[in-house]
Amino acid sequence: GLAPGKSLAALVKSGWRATEADARDIARQVLETLVYLHGFSPPVVHRDLKPDNLIRSDDGNIMVVDFGAVRDTLASESEVMSVAGTFGYMAPEQFAGSATPASDLYSLGATLVHVLSHKAPSELPQRELKLDFRPYVQASEGFLRFLEGLLEPTPERRIASARAALDALDRPASITAS
């Protein structure tokens, strides 16, 4: 059956807005799931993390759902191009058919910005391929930098792994928000 709870998309539609504490909690739970998925050999990349695919139960537990994109990819590994994902939440490299564990981190970053800002990534301005989300998100400087690390368009410059992202989440900001 369906997971009890509501998707983050449904919560946002109903007027719920994540606080930084909520967003940190969501990030931690999703990253712990990604550490597990990405730990397989080869790594299992979800490819379609977005507010619709994260279910939050009444007690705050987050479940990652809809592994359809994973399944489709495994079934068609012979096809060179398999773009699975949702526009706005997909890392730039996914448009070229390349999805890596770091692609899931980008999608998580876009999802966190959505629940914090109430704006879908496609509604936000871009600067040099970077989402210009700071004007729309109320959060500490440390957390804003964490989001920037997830949303780095160039995969080589993005936070490298779910484990590294968890570490970054726990490292207190070196400078405080003004």
Positions annotated as catalytic residues are 48
Per-residue DSSP letters for 54-118?
A: EEE-TTS-EEE---HHHHHHHHTTTSS----S-TTTS-GGGGGT---HHHHHHHHHHHHHHHHHS
- 122-141 as b/e: b if 16+ CB within 10 A: eebeeeeeebebeebbebee
Residue 7: phi and psi, rounded to 5, are: -70, 155
CA distance 162 to 152: 14
Amino acid at 30: V
99: how many CB neighbours lie within 10 A of its CB?
25
In sequence order, the β-bridge partners of residue 55 are 7, 63
Q: What angle do CA 159, 59, 35 make, to 5 degrees?
A: 25
